[in-house]
Chain A
Amino acid sequence: MAEQPSATTTAPGEVTLPSGYTYTSVTDKIANIVLTRRSRWPWFLTFSIALVCMLAFFLACGVLFIVGPGIWGINIPVAWGYAIGNFVWWIGIGHAGTFISAILLLLRQKWRTSINRFAEAMTLFAAGIAGIFPILHLGRPWFFYWLVPYPDAMSLWPQWRSPLVWDFFAISTYLTVSLVFWYMGLIPDLATLRDRAKTRTQQLIYGLFALGWRGEARHWARHQSAYLLMAGLATPLVVSVHSVVSLDFAIGNTPGYHSTIFPPYFVAGALFSGFAMVLTLAIPLRHFFGLHEFITMRHLENCAKVLLATGWFVAYGYLSETFMAYYSNDPFEIYMVQNRMTGPYAPVYWALITCNVLAPQIMWWRAARRSVPVLFVLSLVVNMGMWMERFLIVVSSLHRDFLPSAWGLFIPTRWDWIHLLGSIGMFVVLFMLFIRFLPAISIAEIREMLHEEKSS
């Protein structure tokens, strides 16, 4: 049945396609991760640690709702703290997924195929977690639904000039679309899993979600066009979401918030952190599940290149912020910049410059781009750097604004940290469950590519 692996001419690692794979073997390889392969201790270890963090997160939320936002380090003037920082950070991470699957799809970037699935999952989880924070952050979270326009007994509506309202819609839209997009892509694979299911329960569950996919030509045709359409829909969102998020700050008059460069700067930053997270996830994934042929050096290298590029966007953002401050000759703006570089939070600033601007420069060297450990470390460094950037934008702008008499400091409490680490734990838990129960790589699309390659 299976024909011999065709001796390929492409040098190993250059390929986007697992050399010498057949439809069946591809399917076996990926599906078995879910269906037959037993979980190993690394999975359990990571999962349980993450689970503990997640529970801590829930505990912290409980305390938050009972005692109030006062458990955090926030105060007047620094009324926004980690909650908003985390929110922006997670939303940023939740970008790469849709970017990879939608935009790269439209750009017919073949190499995306084997990383888009888990990237989308990452997007989904990240955006979901991000969505929680603005609500936690409220003084009276139980009234969050007042941001929804609905005919209430007070005949009141949201205040449409407030970016927070735009935010609410931007994020909910983004969440829904990426969910649908992701699920749509999953359907054929779910069907595959259903058909290869080893137990009745597996068969039932996968079957249920496969929505009766039978792989007919008709199904494929519609799926393809629908998928493309969704991609078209998702593409503008990639840009819009983080632009809107950035307006939460840009609309404000605080020096350090009030800046026109924010929308593009935030989007770039989002992709930056997004791709970093893709690497952070891809590398262990391919290592532990032996997917080296699917997630190849080429993928990693491309991600690295994107990192390098977006890194420069971000760097440009920092630069123009500083430049504009002096160019505007506004004493408050100028002081803000100086305060960032020399004030109480200066260490954070220089740390983030190191992480986001200096560190990625090693990507100029091919050797570095092709060294997995280097990439992994770098991806972590960039993620950290981006979190620090969010923190800096939120806190250091607020803590010294117009009237020196009102200046203050923000000092995070243990609850701030629990909410940050807990949310990461939650993310990992979700991702772990994902790779355990769903194909982390799109079987159908790989097969499709295989087919195209054959016919070429």
Chain B
Amino acid sequence: MAQVFDRGVVLALKVALLIALVLIVTLLFVWRWSIDYPHTLAAPPRQPLPFSHQHHVRDDGIDCRYCHTSVEKSAFAGIPSSDVCMTCHSQLFRDVALFEPLRQSLRTGRRLQWTRVNDLPDFVYFDHSAHVSHGVPCKECHGRVDQMPLTARARSLEMRWCLSCHRDPGPHLVRPGEVFDMNAAPPASENEQRRLLAGYGILDVRRLMDCSTCHR
């Protein structure tokens, strides 16, 4: 009796099955990637003002702490209030149209609405002061902001990325004076690393790996 399926059909079926398999696998990966926040590195979000770190940091050489005042005292680094901007811009670029939102906010007291560039989930309790005081330089997480005309996120900020440093902080630290220095060089040698770690009192890395270090 005749075969129900001739060779062609059988081949087609096999191929179809294969394709389906491949499709499923790829879909899995696509899905994984899509939930893998954040997907877009180095894409500056829209801001009320086209603020340029490059200009302020590299060209003008303003220290981070001039604007991010609480970075050494608090978990939150602090975003400058409009009047802080005005300390300079009441003199410089006084009548550039670009600055209208700023002047307006100072006139009306309405606050500027900046879009978060480096956003962590609310169940993560990152503390700027803790990192800064332990010699983690700004650029370690924020990248070379002095080379960013518009500010964008430089790191993935995924948990595994955080852990990569918490597991082995040594190579990521700099000398106390250089935390806010964009050009600070990482420790040259093993000994250098060990000296830094000792200096910052990071004797037990296990503590850095505790869930309670970041989650409460």
Check A-B contact in the complex, CB < 8 A.
yes
Residues of B within 8 Å of A207, CB to CB, are: 4-5
A203 touches B4 (CB 8 A): yes
How many Å from the CB of A189 to the closest CB on chain B?
16
Instruction: Provide the B137-166 mask, 1 if CB < 8 A to any CB of A, else 0.
Output: 000000000000000000000111001000
Bound complex: CA of A160 vs CA of B158, how far in Å?
A: 24
* In the complex, per-residue mask of B18-35: 1 if CB is within 8 Å of any chain A CB, else 0: 000000000000000000
Min CB–CB distance A202 → chain B (angstroms): 10
Decide if A204 touches B4 in the complex (CB within 8 Å). Answer: yes
Residues of B near A155 (CB, < 8 A) are 159-160, 163
Of all chain A residues, the one with the shortest Cβ separation from B28 is A150
CB of B5 within 8 A of CB of A212, answer: yes
CB pair A154–B5 under 8 Å, yes or no, is no
> Quick check: is A153 within 8 A (CB to CB) of the other chain?
yes
Among B25-50, those with CB < 8 Å from A are: 36
CA–CA, A195 and B158, complex, Å: 58
> Is A242 at the interface (CB under 8 A from chain B)?
no
Residues of B within 8 A of A204 (CB): 4
Q: Is the C-beta of B10 less than 8 angstroms from some C-beta in chain A?
A: yes
CB pair A153–B36 under 8 Å, yes or no, is: yes
Residue of B nearest to A194 (CB): B4
The residue of chain B having its C-beta at the shortest distance from the C-beta of A214 within the complex is: B3
Min Cβ gap B30→A in Å is 15
Q: What residues of B have a CB within 8 angstroms of the CB of A63 in the complex?
A: none
Q: Is the CB of A154 within 8 A of B159?
A: yes
- What's the nearest-Cβ distance from chain A to residue B62, in Å? 35
Most buried by B among A153, A207, A208, A212: A153
* Interface membership of B188, Cβ < 8 A: no
Q: Closest A residue to B37 by CB, please name it.
A: A153
B1 at interface (Cβ–Cβ under 8 A)? yes
Interface residue total, chain A, C-beta cutoff 8 A? 12
**In the complex the two chains form, is B13's CB within 8 Å of A208's CB?**
yes
Residue B10 contacts which of A152, A156, A195, A212 (CB distance < 8 angstroms)? A212
The smallest beta-carbon distance between B5 and chain A, in angstroms, is 6
> Which residues in chain A, 100-119, are within 8 Å of chain B measured between CB atoms?
none
- Contact check, A154 vs B4: say whether CB atoms are below 8 A apart: no
Task: Give Cα distance in the complex from A204 to B5, angstroms.
Answer: 8
> Closest B-chain residue to A206, C-beta based?
B4
CB contact list, A144-158 vs B, under 8 A: 152-156
Q: Which of B3, B4, B5, B10 has the most CB of A within 10 A?
A: B4
A203 to B160, CA, bound (A): 54
For A195, what are the chain B residues with a Cβ–Cβ distance below 8 Å? Answer: 1
- For residue B1, which residue of chain A has the nearest CB? A195
Distance in angstroms between the alpha carbons of A154 and B4 in the assembled complex: 51
Chain A contacts of B163 at CB under 8 A? 155
In the bound complex, how far is the Cα of B35 from the Cα of A152, in angstroms?
Answer: 11
Which residue from chain B places its CB closest to the CB of A151 in the assembled complex?
Answer: B160
A 80-106 to B, binary, CB cutoff 8 A, 1 in contact else 0: 000000000000000000000000000
- Tell me the complex Cα distance, A266–B91, Å: 83
How would residues 195 to 206 of chain A score, 1 for a CB under 8 Å from any chain B CB and 0 otherwise?
100000001100
Which residues of the partner chain A approach B5 to less than 8 Å between Cβ atoms? 207-208, 212
A203 to B2, CA, bound (A): 12
**Residues in chain A near residue B4, CB distance under 8 A:** 194, 203-204, 207
Residues of B within 8 A of A152 (CB): 160
Q: Which residue of A lies closest to B5 (CB)?
A: A207
A212 to B163, CA, bound (A): 53
* A258 CB, min distance to chain B CBs, angstroms: 28
Residues of A within 8 A of B159 (CB): 153-156
CB A73 to nearest CB in B, in angstroms, measures 30
B-side contacts of A203, CB under 8 Å = 4
A154 touches B10 (CB 8 A): no
State A208–B4 Cα separation when bound (angstroms).
9
CB under 8 Å from chain B, chain A span 123-163: 152-156
Looking at the assembled complex, report how far the CB atom of B71 sits from the nearest CB atom of chain A, in whole angstroms: 27
Q: Which of A154, A208, A212 contacts B160 (CB 8 A)?
A: A154
What 1/0 mask marks residues of chain B from 183 to 208 whose CB sits below 8 Å from any chain A CB?
00000000000000000000000000
CA–CA, A24 to B13, complex, Å? 32
Determine the residue in chain B with the shortest Cβ distance to A200: B4
| Min CB gap B121→A, angstroms | 11
Cα–Cα distance between A45 and B158 once the two chains are bound (Å): 55
Query: Which residues of chain A have C-beta atoms less than 8 A from B3's C-beta?
Result: 212
- A203-B4, A212-B5 known; A153 and B13 CB under 8 Å? no
- Please report the C-alpha to C-alpha distance between residue A35 and residue B71 in the assembled complex, in whole angstroms: 78
Closest to A154 in B: B159
Instruction: Find chain B residues with CB under 8 A from A212 CB.
Output: 3, 5, 10
Give the Cβ gap from A114 to chain B, nearest Cβ, in Å: 28
| B131 vs chain A, min Cβ distance (A) | 20
| B158 to A, closest residue via Cβ | A153
CA distance A153 to B4 in the complex (A): 49
A-side contacts of B1, CB under 8 Å: 195
Q: A139 to chain B: closest CB distance in Å?
A: 16
Q: How far is the CA of A152 from the CA of B37 in the complex (A)?
A: 12
20 more A-B contacts (CB under 8 A) besides A154-B160, A195-B1, A212-B3? A152-B160, A153-B36, A153-B158, A153-B159, A153-B160, A154-B158, A154-B159, A155-B159, A155-B160, A155-B163, A156-B159, A194-B4, A203-B4, A204-B4, A207-B4, A207-B5, A208-B5, A208-B13, A212-B5, A212-B10
Measuring CB to CB, which residues of chain B are less than 8 angstroms from any residue of chain A?
A: 1, 3-5, 10, 13, 36, 158-160, 163
Closest 5 A-B residue pairs measured CB to CB?
A207-B4, A155-B160, A154-B159, A153-B158, A203-B4
- What are 20 inter-chain pairs, A to B, with CB distance below 8 A? A153-B36, A153-B158, A153-B159, A153-B160, A154-B158, A154-B159, A154-B160, A155-B159, A155-B160, A155-B163, A156-B159, A194-B4, A204-B4, A207-B4, A207-B5, A208-B5, A208-B13, A212-B3, A212-B5, A212-B10
